[in-house]
Chain A
Amino acid sequence: MKIYVCVKQIPDPNTVVSKLDPNTKRLVRSGVSLVLDPGDESTISAAIKLRDTVGNSEVVAVSMGPASAQEAMRRALAMGVDRAILVTDPALAGSDALGTARVLAAILQKESPDLVFCSTESTDGYTGMVPGGIAEFLNLPQLTFAREINVEGAKAIIKRVTLTGYQTVECPLPAVVTIASGSFEAIYPTMKGIMSAKKKPFTQLTLADLAIDPSQVGEAGAREHVATIGKAEARAAGQIIKDDGNSAQAIADFLQRYQLL
């Protein structure tokens, strides 16, 4: 089975305080330390787990990004991904979700995947629109918010996270599956993994290789425009429950009100 994982390099959410450029209204990505999206590390782990369960399968990481994204791809390889494909092209700068989906779908089209894994959303832009776009371009069914994935015959069966529990959903392969955040503990690259990453196939493509018209992607092809950016509203003050002997009940009531209990 061929399992593809769409990944992204983002400003390190653990060390970088996100900043927006007031002119471009985009996230500042230069001059900060960049990492493979931690959400994608979890998604890669889901793919590797499935690969190792199913057997006779490979996991391929695909990404679109600047040359610096090579590091994120090496990271994916070090984690145990079998090969990596990165599309880099100056014309891609400023791509919106649609443009990104178009490029990723073009790679996948050539590869004929059985499964395409995506994180539900990236940890920087959080649009969550790329997976749906890929499914649309490839004309594949999409299963969302998976916390468990199994393959039986030619079907993908997932447990789909809901507010109150999960639904079991299935669809025929090939399919696009988005992974619910926090569902899989990220594998960490072992020393052997880090060493062997250097010897694994790593393909770098340009738009020309994918026969994509540059006017359809990047700044030129973007249909999505950020109109304004503003500060998030300050959160309302929390509720403090004083312990007068009934605090346990009060806390339980509060949690129940939000269906957390």
Chain B
Amino acid sequence: MTTTMKPTESGTAFLTTTVSESADKIFTLEQRDEEQRWIQESSATFIQREVLPLTEAIDHQEPGVLPKLVKKAGEQGLLMIDVPEEYGGAELGLLTSSLVGSELREASFSVAFGAHTTIGTLPIVFYGNEEQKQKYLPKLASGEWIAAYALTEPGVGSDAMGLTTHAKLSEDGKYYILNGTKQWISNAGFADVMIAFARIGNEKPSAFIVEAHWPGVSTGAEERKMGIKGSSTRQVYFEDTKVPVENLLGEIHKGYKIAFNILNIGRLKLGAGTVGGARAALGMAAAYTTERKAFGKFISEFGMIQKKLARVAAETYAAESEVFRTAANIENARRSAGNDTEGAFKAIEEYAIEASLAKVHGSEVLAMAVDEGVQIFGGYGFMQEYPIEKAYRDARIQRIFEGTNEINRLVASGTLFRRVLKGKLPLMSLYPAIESRVRSGQPLNNAGESIPAELRDAVNALERAKDVTIYSAMKFALKYMQALENEEEFIEYLANLLIDLYAVDSALARATQAVRRGDENSGTHVKLAQLATWLAFTRLRSNLDQMIMTNSAEGDVQAELQFVRSYVGDYLLNGVALQRELAAVVVEKQGYPL
């Protein structure tokens, strides 16, 4: 299947390209084709009709309910999206599967689905040899078999190099003998096949395809969790598990590469899921505001409630814009790589920063959406009868798995500096011009005719924020050089800046597209993008302030703050009026307004 997409942006382009330049290049949800829209809608209906009525049963882990639903999704074709056609798949790609991922509103189902389709199946899609693909992919694409991904261990989370599970070649050379314990393995209770990581000797980890029914594979009891209670989470024990040598996945001692690359996709998909979760939470809250009265008025009429609705909508808009922009970029790059596995690797890796930013931002927006959702429901939000209570508990894990948000912040900033050092990201060469602009207090502010008038201030504010981010990041990075990794707080500030820059850049580019296209909802796009910018701008300034105050040489603090604050300036907007207008749209639509 071929989908025409706009030209690819290179990784991290958002930092060095203006919205004027990127607005035509990026993919936005509004560019979905008919097939993508229908498949997305179909998955939403599947959830509505087949999954949500079973929420209770899923949450209580009634035996068989969840795996049956995963298999049912398989019957409908939803598990085959990322699998190549020759192995029983639909080969529709990451963008389509992310669109579907954004509709899986029941979090336990979503975890089971994601563990199977993304981290469970994709390692074989990308790294399996012909025999492995033929043997496993048709079963995984149809849902006949369910997959799991066994990386984490009791003492080792995101630090894949520190795994202790080991694999030893048998004397006859036919098997690897696996021993070790894996922890928090989603789908462990019913998975038929697992992608397991173990070290051969003292080398870096290798990956193996392990069938769960083999002797020496067993699982522990179900973990009792705060949220996503319906998903199966267990320890997996390998005790002298004989894995045929032909089940080594990818190159020996290079399984860690598989782990990292699959995690990049996992992060992006998680971002898509959180966007869907935020839309759903907003839907619940918005509907409630027109049911509940206080002091004789519907609570939708109160300013503080309106503020919550509008802010969740705007932040969700930004997260949604960045998630699908990234999905299309990765998909497009991967398609250009064709059947070249190494090329596919590179294509995914190219957008590692964006995948991490989408994961962190998406999960934090979801956290805000469910938190404000509970607050809007008041006491009822605290009661288990209301689904927002479950949404609140289910959301918490999103900031933890697929690499904690702290790990992902390290990934984003760390990758950025690695790219600068390798000369892949031209911040070094851009720095002198930016430094002189910042120091002379002369921003370009050149958002011109190509940007809709109502977005020009926001775009100029964003571009100034990009300038000072590059300015500060480079300045302090040069100062710390090799010792940079000891400066986690600095790295976090930078990551926070990147998160807001990418989100706002994506939102403004999408709204610009909507206006240029004459979209019937362009007014709402503009409002959402304006508010997202306004909210992010306060955080951007605060992060910059703190970064400068804590990293500048003692005598320079005042002067540096002065330069940066006056350069970055303001994004003047009557945020309250805007929030009220947006809230009215959210209330009218009973949820996310697009």
Of the residues B34, B35, B76, B81, contact of A190 by C-beta under 8 Å: B76
From residue B204, how far is it (CB to closest CB) to chain A in Å?
A: 38
Interface flag for B477 (CB, 8 Å): no
Residues of A within 8 A of B61 (CB): none
| In the complex, A195 has a CB within 8 A of chain B | yes
User: What DSSP secondary structure best describes chain B's contact surface?
Assistant: helix
Instruction: Report A53 CB to chain B, min CB distance, Å.
Output: 20
Residue of A74, A75, A192 most packed against chain B (CB within 10 A): A192
Q: Which of B38-46, B492-500, B507-515, B531-539 contacts A (4 or more CB under 8 A)?
A: B38-46
Q: Check B420 for interface membership: any CB of A closer than 8 A.
A: no
Most chain B beta-carbon contacts within 10 A, residue among A75, A188, A191, A193? A191
- The CA of A191 and the CA of B103, in the complex, are separated in Å by 14
What is the distance, in angstroms, from A8's C-beta to the closest C-beta of chain B? 18
The contact size tier of chain A is 10 to 19
Q: Is A171 an interface residue (CB 8 A)?
A: no
B244 within 8 A of A: no
Contact of B76 among A71, A74, A75, A192 (CB under 8 A): A192
Q: A188-B42, A195-B90 are in contact. List 8 more A-B contacts (CB 8 A).
A: A74-B34, A188-B46, A189-B42, A191-B42, A191-B43, A191-B76, A191-B81, A194-B35
- Chain B 34-57 interface residues, beta-carbon cutoff 8 Å to A: 34-35, 38-39, 41-43, 45-46, 49
A78 sits at the interface (CB 8 A): yes
Chain A residues with CB under 8 Å of B198's CB are none
| 27 A-B pairs in the complex with CB atoms less than 8 angstroms apart | A71-B34, A74-B34, A75-B38, A78-B38, A188-B41, A188-B45, A188-B46, A188-B49, A189-B38, A189-B42, A190-B46, A190-B76, A190-B77, A191-B39, A191-B42, A191-B43, A191-B76, A191-B81, A192-B75, A192-B76, A192-B77, A194-B35, A194-B38, A194-B39, A194-B42, A195-B77, A195-B90
In the complex, what residues of A have CB within 8 A of residue B39's CB? 191, 194
A189 vs B35: C-alpha distance in the bound complex, in angstroms? Answer: 11
Chain A residues whose C-beta falls within 8 Å of the C-beta of B249 in the assembled complex: none
Closest 4 CB pairs of A and B: A191-B77, A192-B77, A190-B76, A188-B45
Q: Classify chain B's interface size.
A: 10 to 19
Instruction: Find chain A residues with CB under 8 A from B41 CB.
Output: 188
**Which chain A residues (67-81) contact chain B, with CB distance < 8 Å?**
71, 74-75, 78
Bound together, the chains give a CA A78 to CA B35 distance in angstroms of 10
- What total of A-B pairs shows CB separation below 8 Å? 36
**How far in angstroms is the closest Cβ of chain B from A82?**
18
- Binary per-residue interface labels of chain B (78-109) against chain A in the complex, 1 for a CB within 8 Å, 0 otherwise: 10110000000010000000000000000000
Contacts of A195 in B (CB 8 A): 35, 77, 90
Distance A194 CA – B41 CA, assembled complex (angstroms): 11
Closest to B96 in A: A191
B69 to chain A: closest CB distance in Å? 14
Min CB gap B50→A, angstroms: 10
Say whether B42 contacts A190, CB under 8 Å: yes
Which of chain A's residues have a CB closer than 8 A to the CB of B80? Answer: 191
Q: How far is the CB of B75 from chain A (nearest CB, A)?
A: 8
Contacts of A75 in B (CB 8 A): 38
Specify which chain B residues have a CB less than 8 angstroms from the CB of A191 in the assembled complex.
39, 42-43, 76-78, 80-81, 90
> Complex Cα distance A37/B35, Å?
18
Query: In the docked arrangement, what's the CA distance between A190 and B77, Å?
Result: 7
How far is the CB of A187 from the nearest CB of chain B, in Å? Answer: 10
Q: What residue of chain A has the Cβ atom nearest to residue B100's Cβ? A: A191
Residue-wise interface mask of A (187-221) relative to B, using a CB-CB cutoff of 8 A (1 in contact, 0 not): 01111111100000000000000000000000000
Q: Find the residue from B38, B42, B46, B80 having the highest chain A CB count within 10 A.
A: B38
Q: Report B514 CB to chain A, min CB distance, Å.
A: 15
Inter-chain contacts of A190 with B (CB < 8 A) = 42, 46, 75-77
Minimum distance in angstroms from B521 CB to a CB of chain A: 10
Closest to A74 in B: B34
- Chain B residue with Cβ nearest A192: B77
